[in-house]
Structure 1
Amino acid sequence: MKIETKTLPAMRLAYMRRTGPYGTPGIAHTWERFMGWCASRGLTQPRRDTYGLSLDDPATGAFSCWLCVPVAAQA
């Protein structure tokens, strides 16, 4: 796996958080719900980058993910 580190400009984000155990199909459902919410508010046109940020602890099985999309037009 190739890992890259990038510094992004400051931006306002809309996000939806999901928590749960590893191995559940819920993350795909959460993306669908989130993108539907974004589309209903005009946040998907023009096309924008989306970001998924995960914080997890394999030792405990805890998983938390933030799905994000910028709310202001990108340059």
Structure 2
Amino acid sequence: MKLSEMSCGNCGTVINMSALPAATRKKLMVMGLLPRTEITVVRLAPLGDPLQVRVRGVDIALRKQIAENIEVEAL
């Protein structure tokens, strides 16, 4: 499933981010968003963009376009 398809409060594990451009993927990896890392959707904006996710205790706001390219496995 894609990260953008998860609803608020759901947890998952990042599986693949290879669909992202290299520069974007590198920035996310520096922030702690790595494969096999647990991720939680904290909240969605009223119109669905951006979404707030928690990775390793840090909250990150991601655009829906980026979240659509991150594959996760629901826990």
Same fold (TM over 0.5): no
Structure number with greater Rg is 1
TM-score normalised by the chain length of structure 1: 0.26
